[in-house]
Amino acid sequence: MTTSAAIIGIAEIVLNVRDLPRMRDFYQQVLGFKLLSEACHESGPEPDPDGEPTIAFLTIQQADTPLGRHGHPQLLALIDFQRHVFAKERFDGHEPSRSTLNHLAFEIQAESYEAEKERLETIGLSPRPVAFPAMTARALFFNDPEQNLLELICHAPSTGVRQVQGEMA
């Protein structure tokens, strides 16, 4: 089998969520993602302008890729799997301990590591520091409101934190 180097980045990550407003607010307030758009697709493919949103698109980062240069940033999409027309028939629930999703990792600047750790502690998220010596990286792990594991990682030598030889599993 031949591998291809065709992939040049991540366009979007999509999470099925139970509580769309709570999850949207968390990712906006805690990780600073900006709301790009949201819509209600409860009864069909055409958006209901008066309905409560069933999907929200949050900008993670602008991307310098062909898609990004044409207005498509890196996105986190949150879908209310109980109400969204394209999800409600496909998913019957959300149980993080039974999910195939291990965690979501977001890169931060090495200079902001300590400030991010303190900020997360201040808002009660109890970040867990981990070092990855083989990657010369360190990370902070914490959970979102629906118990998805999140990671903030930076390229930086580290000391005084739990050492892991490979990626967090």
Please, are residues 11 and 74 in contact by the beta-carbon 8 Å criterion? yes
Please, are residues 67 and 11 in contact by the beta-carbon 8 Å criterion? yes
Phi/psi region, residue 33 (left: phi>0; alpha: psi -120 to 50; beta: rest), is beta
What pLDDT is recorded for position 86? 85
What pLDDT is recorded for position 97? 67
pLDDT tens across 84-128, in order?
998 887 776 667 667 777 899 999 999 999 999 999 999 999 999
pLDDT tens across 10-29, in order?
889 999 999 999 999 999 99
Domains of the chain: 8-91 (3.10.180.10), 102-163 (3.10.180.10)
Q: How many CB atoms lie within 10 A of CB 10?
A: 12
What pLDDT is recorded for position 117? 97
